[in-house]
Amino acid sequence: MRRHSGNSGSQDDVFTAAPLPVAVLDEPERIACLRLIRSGNVGPVTFRELINQFGGAQRALDALPELTRRAGGPAHRICPKEDAERELAHARRIGVQPLFTIEPGYPAALAATGVPPPLLYAKGDVALLQKPAVAIVGSRQASAAGHKLARRFAGELGQAGFVIASGLARGIDGAAHEAALLTGTVAVVAGGIDVVYPPEHADLTRRITEQGCVISEMPPGFVPRAKEFPRRNRIIAGVALGVLVVEAARRSGTLVTARLAAELGREVFAIPGHPLDPRAEGTNQLLKSGAMFVTEPADVIAALQPMTATDLRDYSDAASLEPDLAAAPPEPSTGDRARVLAALGPHPSDVDEIGRAAGLSARAVRLVLVELDLAGRIERHGHHLVSLLPARSEPD
């Protein structure tokens, strides 16, 4: 397991880690951002690339049909303006604030990762999202000792100036949030902020929105499915400088969070458990794999405090986006597209390797991949791996 090396992102972020512009968004640009995110085939990577290429969401929206046409895709599905306006209006009615990656207020540590979610919804004290955080996660079926450890670590880390992040689940998550209410806690949920899960955490959720902050990448009203929880776990890992695992079985979502944290270059801590306790199998395995052995909060503080002196993102020069913020990027040639397509195949390939095989610059490859992504011709697998999707057969 690779641990934090002092960099703000993982080594996997080298090729496509061009920083997003940061600006104070007016209402039309905010609506354009949401429309872009909700349009067909626009995932986090493509959103970032489009914003970097065109300097703003409205200009990117205007370019979508032509970009898709270039790559031979069908007519592009663009989110209607009315749908975006309705979603934002509903969020505001229930006190939920949208935070886009390109505006001040988005979680600083998460923004510094390679591909952050383009939009988060937040309710509560959003200033906590700019403070150094430690994630505390663990078993839903935690032991009494596990609950005590979670409360102790959360309380002392909070007193040391760290915000405590977790997933609002039963067990360790709930204990950590409870202990950090007075010093600052951030709950990352898999569904809409107004969808309370688990139901018994309704009161805790209310108190966190009053004293801390709840965030989600899903719109209000969204009921989470199983596949949303790993995405939530990646956000938990991304908003924190490190992840502390208190108790975890050998097969658990907690270990998914630890793995995602390692992939993001975060420090992973684990508290050892008794070899005969199945709730300690996962934590003990993490220690064997290279997680940092900790027995008291001072161990975590000593490892992470040096990182708090470095700002991961500076919003001090934020300014309104202007129509001429960036010149329109050059259109890739037919030959460029052909070379990238020839370098792609059904097996995932690294974007760097695609560029070398095609003999093209990183910028040219990114432009072509954005077109192919919008046309639904490629699949992105994370870690800058891309594969070519099978050609769609025409209906008889």
- pLDDT tens-digit map of 218-241: 999 999 998 899 999 999 999 999
pLDDT digits (tens, 9 = 90+) for 168-226: 999 999 999 999 999 999 999 999 999 999 999 999 999 999 999 999 999 999 999 98
Q: From the centroid of its chain, how far is CA 77?
A: 24
Residue 320 has pLDDT above 60, yes or no: no
Residue 318 has pLDDT above 50, yes or no: no
How far is Cα 388 from Cα 348, in angstroms, rounded to an integer? 8
SS3 annotation, the chain: CCCCCCCCCCHHHCCCCCCCCCCCCCHHHHHHHHHHHHCCCCCHHHHHHHHHHHCCHHHHHHHHHHHHHHCCCCCCCCCCHHHHHHHHHHHHHCCCEEEECCCCCCCHHHHCCCCCCCEEEEEECHHHHHCCEEEEECCCCCCHHHHHHHHHHHHHHHHCCCEEEECCCCCHHHHHHHHCCCCCEEEECCCCCCCCCCHHHHHHHHHHHHHCEEEECCCCCCCCCCCHHHHHHHHHHHHCCEEEECCCCCCCHHHHHHHHHHHCCCEEEECCCCCCCHHHHHHHHHHHCCCEECCCHHHHHHHHHHHHHCCCCCCCCCCCCCCCCCCCCCCCCHHHHHHHHHHCCCCCEEHHHHHHHHCCCHHHHHHHHHHHHHCCCEEEEECCEEEECCCCCCCC
124-309: CATH number: 3.40.50.450
pTM, rounded to two decimals: 0.83
Chain mean pLDDT for the chain: 86
Domain ranges of the chain: 124-309
pLDDT digits (tens, 9 = 90+) for 32-47: 999 999 999 999 989 9
More confident of the two residues 129 and 373: 129
Please tell me the predicted confidence (pLDDT) of residue 112.
86
How far is Cα 229 from Cα 285, in angstroms, rounded to an integer? 22
Please tell me the predicted confidence (pLDDT) of residue 142.
93
